[in-house]
Amino acid sequence: MPRFIARRLVATVPLLVLISILAFSLVLLLPGDPALAILGDEVANANDKQAYYALRAEMGLDEPIPIQYLRWAGKMLSGDLGMSIRNQTPIAETIGAKILPTAELALLAAILSLLIALPAGIISALRPNSLADAGATLAALSGVAVPHFFLGVLLIYAFAVGLRILPPSGYVAPWEDLGQNLRLMIMPAFTVGTGLAAILMRQVRSALIEVLQQEYVITARSKGLGERAVVIGHALKNAAIPVITIMGQQVGTLIGGAVVTETIFAIPGMGRLIVDSISYRDFPVVQATVLVLSISVLAANLTTDIIYGYLDPRIRQD
């Protein structure tokens, strides 16, 4: 197992380098000039641009791009994420304050998707081609087809404007008011989690149908074990292996959905931070936020590989 983990860690190094290059390149792709964003656009029309060129030299923007990347990557490795152009505060503190709402949204969405997908997938697998299976399949297709922005607006209109049973937007930390926090987060979590629930439901169904046809399951049934004991005690564990893999692969989808969902529901998380930073041309914050989120996805995938290797010893053999 240690060698298996070491191989996975080594395999992530090239990905980290590629991600850092892409994150740094955002400055080159986004319109605008960081120096002008700090000094103001009126400097561009002034006759004397000494302050502008001095600031570009101070920020290293007058150096070759490879040198700029190496200097930026060195700061990232040392934990120095830089300063925000917008408010001149350390980016690490800004991200630290925004990461909890995004993590909570992703966690609640994952839990909600499992609560929906597991029962629906099990029922569909135990009763294939039945009315329940057809209904679950239709719900799964709907969950994948409906975009986050449309579902979010629809939920606000139904439960906040129409029924008035949930607040439309905002965020309260769970340690301040847990009840209000859950009431504010239930619609965003459902918005993000429905797509994942649909994918997981279909995966649970197909994996469980295949496992239920294996000889050891037939043997367990022939020994007189009840259907619940057969499904939960024997079949579900092996069927969960591909489901865990899908969960790890969908972490990026959860984070991507959070960008849109946090904007709709006014959640002060990482997704909202990216959108606001792009609007204000705060390039260092965009770079650092994209890098942190990308590393989070890589860490989730690595954790998934480790869990997969623990559940299935065959894939960690040397």
Query: By three-state DSSP, how is residue 315 classified?
Result: helix
Residue 190 has which token pair? 């459902």
Query: By three-state DSSP, how is residue 83 classified?
Result: strand
CATH architecture under which domain 92-316 falls: Orthogonal Bundle (1.10)
Burial environment of residue 43 by CB neighbours within 10 A (0 to 12, 13 to 18, 19 or more): middle
Q: Which of 51, 148, 95 has its CA nearest to residue 290?
A: 95
Q: State which residues of the chain have pLDDT below 70.
A: 1, 4, 27, 30-49, 58-60, 227, 233-234, 309-318
Helices (H) and strands (E) in the chain, counts: 14, 0
- CB distance 309 to 315 below 8 Å: yes
Would you state the pLDDT for residue 38? 66
The DSSP code sequence of 202-228 is HHHHHHHHHHHTSHHHHHHHHTT--HH
Would you state the pLDDT for residue 30? 64
Would you state the pLDDT for residue 87? 78
Would you state the pLDDT for residue 31? 64
Would you state the pLDDT for residue 314? 61
SS3 content of the chain, % helix, strand, coil (to 5): 80, 0, 20
Would you state the pLDDT for residue 316? 56
Write the CA distances from 301 to 5, 243, 249, 258, integer angstroms.
12, 13, 6, 18
Query: pLDDT tens digit string along 224-262?
Result: 777 677 777 667 777 777 777 777 777 777 777 777 888
Would you state the pLDDT for residue 317? 55
Burial environment of residue 77 by CB neighbours within 10 A (0 to 12, 13 to 18, 19 or more): exposed
Q: Distance (Å, rounded) from C-alpha 124 to C-alpha 119? A: 9
Query: pLDDT tens digit string along 149-175?
Result: 888 899 999 999 888 899 988 899 888
Q: Enumerate the domain spans of the chain.
A: 32-80, 92-316
